[in-house]
Homo-oligomer: A and B are copies of this chain.
Amino acid sequence: MMRDLRPLISPDSIAIIGASSNPGRVGGMPLALLLQHGYAGRIYPINPKYTDISGLTCYPDVESLPGPADLAVLAIAAEDVVASLKRCHAKGIPAAIVFAAGFAEAGDAGKALQDELEQFAAASGMIVAGPNCMGFANLNTHAYTAFASVFKNTPPPAQPGNTALVTQSGNVCAAVYSVGRKQGVGYNYVINTGNEACLEFSEYLEWLVEDESTHCVAGYVEGLRDGARFVRTVARARELNKPLILLKVGDSSKGQEAAASHTASLAGDQRVYKAALRQLGVMRADDLAHMADLCYLAQFRHKTGGKRIAIVTISGALGALLSDRFSDHGVEIPTLPADVQATLRAGIPDYGMVSNPIDITGNVVNQQGFFAEALGTVLDCAEVDAIVMYAPGYLLDRLTPELVEAAGKTDKLIAAIDTGNATVRETLEQAGIPVFTETGRAVAALSSFLHWQDGRRATWRPMPQRAAMTASALDIVETVRSKKRVALDEAEGKKLLASFGVPVAHEAVATNPAEAASMAQRIGFPCVLKILSPDILHKTEIGGVRLNIGSAQEAASACEEILAAARAKMPDARLTGVLLQRQEKSAAELLVGVTRDPVFGLVMTVGLGGILTELYQDVAQRILPVDAAMAQEMLRELRAWPLLDGYRGRQPADVTAACQAIAAVSEAALALGPELSELEVNPLMLRAAGEGAVAVDALAMLTPREK
C-alpha cells in the first residue's frame, strides 16, 4: 500500500523544532530559506528561548502551537528525537524530518536510538524522514526544509521544473543540484533520504512517480532495501513514460566497501544491480555531471528514437573523433544510403564527407538554404534515429535558423555540440535541441540516453511474477523436505525441470553393475555414467563420472569403479546409485543458472560455461521471469554469441530450443518461488539447429527451513 507523502514533501504548514534566527545554524537555515524563497504556508518556529524569530511568532513547545502542522522539522540532538516525535504525534502532526546524525551510522548506541525511532514510527504510522538527512526542497511551493547552503547560494530558478532528485547522500544532493542547475535542469523536488530508518528510497520514488508535477526522477543510491517495491515502481514509471536516472555506487569492490560503510546499506550483487537496472529501463549515470546531463536530456521529452546517429560537422577531424567516441559507447553510425549521399553531395564539395560522419565543410554557410535541405534529407532517412551536430560557436550561431526549422519538422532528436561561445543556446533549447559544450560529456550523456531510448522499445514487458507448480515438482519438494534435505539429487532436479517442459537427457538409474549393463544396452552407446547422490555436488572431482562408455561390459565395470570411488572418497555420502545417459554430441553448451539476490529476488544467469567464460565474465543476467524472447536477447548479448550462430563455418546451434528451455527453467524457478535457493542446468547441450536442446546435468537447492 502506498502512503501519501504529501505532508512530508508538500506541507501546507511547517513547525521547526529547535528554530534559530542564525541561518548558519541547522535550525536557522530552513527558516531563512523559507523566508528567502517566499513559502506561502504557515511557519511555526519552536524554541523556548525566543518569543519571535525573524518576525514570526516563536512557540516554546509543540504543545503550544495553535493547531497541528503538516510537518515537523527536528533540528535537535539525536537523543531528544524520539521524545519530540511522540509529542508531535500527540499534537496530530503526521510527518517529520529528522536532521540529527548519531543514529545507525554511529556505533551501537546510535543503532539502539535508531531502533527506537523505527519502532515508534511503525507503531504510530507517523511519516518520518531521516535521521541523518539534510532535508528537502520543494521548488513548487518553496517549502525548503533543508539545511543546505546550496539553496541559498544558487540563484533561485525563475520557475520550477519537472525533475525530482532523491539521494542517499547530502553531499551528492547538493552537488548534483548545483551541477544540474548550471546545465539547465529544472528541479521540482530535492530530497535527501539519510539513514532511511522508516522511509526507504523506493517509497519516495513511488510517490514521486505518481506525482503530477514530476516528469523525471533522478536518484543517487548506495543500496536498495525494498527491491520488490523498486521493481514495481519502475514498471509504473514506464507506464507513465517518466524516465528514471540512477547514479548507483558500488560497482567496484572499493566503492562497495565505501557505500556499505557509509549508510550500512544492503550491498546486493553489483552485477545483478547492473543487469537489473538495464533490464528495467533505468538510465544509469556514472558521475555527477553525467547525471545532470541525463536529466537535461530527459527534459526534451517529446523526442523518440534509437541508437543510430548521423554526425554532422564542419571538420573531418571532429567527425572522426566523435565517431570514435560514440563507437566506444556502442552507438551506431550507419553509412547513409546512396540516394541520401547523392543529395548531400550536390551541396558538399569533394573534400567534404557525405557517408556519415558528414562533413558539410565551412563552405555550407555560403549556400543559402542548402543546410536545411541536407538536415531534412538526413532526418527523413529511416536508418537514422538522431542527428548530432558539432560545430564551432560562430558557425552554430549562423546555422541555428536552419536547425530550428529542421527540428520543427521531425520527432527525431537533434542535439548540438558547440566547441565554444555559441550565443544561440536558448533558441536551440526552445526548439527542442539540447546543447552541450564539451565533447566528452556530450558523448557520454547522448550515448546513455540513446541506448535507453533504444532499449525502451523492446527490453522489458510486464510478465506474470508467479507460475503454477506441477504435481511432480510438489512431490519432489515434499520428498526432499521430508528427508530434511535441501539439495535435490541430479535425477530429482531433472525430473522437476522436465515437469516444467525443460528437455532432459534420456536416462536411467542403476544400483549395481548388472543393472548398469542392461540399462546401457537399452539407452545406446556411447553413454555416460555418473554417481548419483544428494551429498555429492562435484562428481568429477571424486572420480564419479565416466565418459565414452562403448559397451555393456564397460558400463558394468564403470559402475563398479564409480561406486567404489565414491565410497572411498566420501564415505558418509548417501549413494542413490549410478545415473546412465546417452552421451550427447553437441553444437554448443550453455550454463543456465538461477540464484536468489537479496535485493532483486530470483535472477537468471546464462553463459557458455567453462573456464574461459568465467575468466572473460561473459554472461547475461535478468531478473525473472525470462521468456523465450528475452532468452534470445540474453544469448545475443554474449560476446560468444557467434559460436552459437555459425561462426566461421561452425554448425549453428538450436537457439530456438535453447530459448524455450531457458524460459522453462525460469518458469520452474518462479513456481518454486520462496522455496528455491538455487537452480542450475550445466550444461544445457544444444544440438544443431532444428535438433533440440537437452539438460544434461541439473543442480537444485531449496531454501533452508527456519528451525
| Docked-complex contact A317 and B169, CB < 8 angstroms | yes
Asked if A647 is at the interface of the complex by the 8 Å CB criterion, the answer is yes
In angstroms, Cα B257 to Cα A247, docked, is: 35
- Contact for A440 among B105, B107, B441, CB less than 8 A: B441
In angstroms, Cα B610 to Cα A648, docked, is: 12
Closest to A333 in B: B254
In angstroms, Cα B258 to Cα A356, docked, is: 8
**Contact partners of A86 in chain B: CB under 8 A:** none
User: If A289-B439, A615-B639 touch, does A316 touch B261 (CB 8 Å cutoff)?
Assistant: yes
**Contact partners of A261 in chain B: CB under 8 A:** 316, 353
The digit string for A237-274, where 1 denotes a CB below 8 A from any CB of B, is 00000000001011111111111011100000000000
Q: Which residues of A from 347 to 396 have beta carbons under 8 Å from B? A: 349-351, 353, 355-357, 359, 392
Which of A157-165, A323-331, A338-346 forms part of the interface with chain B? A323-331
**Contact partners of A259 in chain B: CB under 8 A:** 316-317, 320
Asked if A276 is at the interface of the complex by the 8 Å CB criterion, the answer is no
In angstroms, Cα B350 to Cα A290, docked, is: 32
In angstroms, Cα B169 to Cα A419, docked, is: 14
| Docked-complex contact A247 and B438, CB < 8 angstroms | no
The digit string for A570-600, where 1 denotes a CB below 8 A from any CB of B, is 0000000000000000000000000000000
Most chain B CB neighbours (cut-off 10 Å) among A257, A261, A289, A320 = A320
**Contact partners of A255 in chain B: CB under 8 A:** 320-321, 323-324, 327
**Contact partners of A220 in chain B: CB under 8 A:** 317
Asked if A480 is at the interface of the complex by the 8 Å CB criterion, the answer is no
The digit string for A195-225, where 1 denotes a CB below 8 A from any CB of B, is 0000000000000000000000000101000
Most chain B CB neighbours (cut-off 10 Å) among A174, A257, A325, A392 = A257
Most chain B CB neighbours (cut-off 10 Å) among A169, A316, A321 = A321
| Docked-complex contact B643 and A616, CB < 8 angstroms | no
In angstroms, Cα B610 to Cα A616, docked, is: 14
**Contact partners of A222 in chain B: CB under 8 A:** 317, 320
- Contact for A263 among B256, B316, B357, B612, CB less than 8 A: B316
The digit string for A415-456, where 1 denotes a CB below 8 A from any CB of B, is 000011000000000000000001111011000000000000
- Contact for A647 among B320, B328, B355, B615, CB less than 8 A: B615
| Docked-complex contact B247 and A171, CB < 8 angstroms | no
Asked if A168 is at the interface of the complex by the 8 Å CB criterion, the answer is yes
**Contact partners of A648 in chain B: CB under 8 A:** 611
In angstroms, Cα B356 to Cα A349, docked, is: 57
**Contact partners of A171 in chain B: CB under 8 A:** 314-315, 317-318, 392, 419
Asked if A319 is at the interface of the complex by the 8 Å CB criterion, the answer is yes
- Contact for A324 among B167, B250, B314, B443, CB less than 8 A: B250
| Docked-complex contact A286 and B320, CB < 8 angstroms | no
| Docked-complex contact B252 and A327, CB < 8 angstroms | yes
- Contact for A359 among B262, B316, B353, B419, CB less than 8 A: B262
- Contact for A618 among B106, B290, B616, CB less than 8 A: B616
Closest to A361 in B: B101
Asked if A82 is at the interface of the complex by the 8 Å CB criterion, the answer is no
**Contact partners of A438 in chain B: CB under 8 A:** 289
Asked if A509 is at the interface of the complex by the 8 Å CB criterion, the answer is no
Closest to A334 in B: B254
Q: Which residues of A from 595 to 624 have beta carbons under 8 Å from B? A: 611-612, 615-616, 618
| Closest CB in chain B relative to A614 CB, distance in Å | 9
In angstroms, Cα B528 to Cα A249, docked, is: 55
In angstroms, Cα B252 to Cα A357, docked, is: 12
**Contact partners of A167 in chain B: CB under 8 A:** 317
In angstroms, Cα B254 to Cα A418, docked, is: 21
Closest to A182 in B: B420
**Contact partners of A351 in chain B: CB under 8 A:** 101, 105-106
- Contact for A323 among B168, B258, B318, B444, CB less than 8 A: B258
Q: Which residues of A from 88 to 126 have beta carbons under 8 Å from B? A: 101, 105-107
| Docked-complex contact B172 and A317, CB < 8 angstroms | yes
**Contact partners of A356 in chain B: CB under 8 A:** 254
**Contact partners of A333 in chain B: CB under 8 A:** 252, 254
- Contact for A320 among B258, B321, B323, B444, CB less than 8 A: B258
- Contact for A288 among B251, B357, B439, B642, CB less than 8 A: B439
| Closest CB in chain B relative to A1 CB, distance in Å | 31
**Contact partners of A315 in chain B: CB under 8 A:** 169-172
**Contact partners of A325 in chain B: CB under 8 A:** 286-287
**Contact partners of A327 in chain B: CB under 8 A:** 251-255
- Contact for A287 among B170, B172, B321, CB less than 8 A: B321
| Closest CB in chain B relative to A646 CB, distance in Å | 12
Closest to A153 in B: B421
Closest to A618 in B: B616
In angstroms, Cα B320 to Cα A351, docked, is: 48
**Contact partners of A252 in chain B: CB under 8 A:** 323-324, 326-328, 333
User: If A169-B315, A250-B324, A439-B289 touch, does A353 touch B616 (CB 8 Å cutoff)?
Assistant: no
Closest to A362 in B: B171
**24 A-B pairs in the complex with CB atoms less than 8 angstroms apart:** A168-B317, A171-B317, A222-B320, A247-B321, A252-B333, A255-B327, A256-B320, A257-B355, A258-B357, A258-B359, A259-B316, A259-B317, A261-B353, A262-B316, A262-B320, A286-B440, A287-B325, A288-B321, A440-B440, A440-B441, A611-B643, A611-B647, A612-B643, A616-B640
Q: Please provide the 6 A-B residue pairs with the shortest distance between their CB atoms, ordered closest to farther.
A: A262-B316, A169-B317, A252-B327, A258-B320, A255-B324, A171-B315
Q: Apart from A253-B327, A262-B353, A616-B616, what 11 extra A-B contacts exist at CB < 8 Å? A: A169-B318, A252-B328, A254-B323, A254-B333, A258-B320, A258-B353, A259-B320, A262-B317, A287-B321, A288-B321, A611-B647
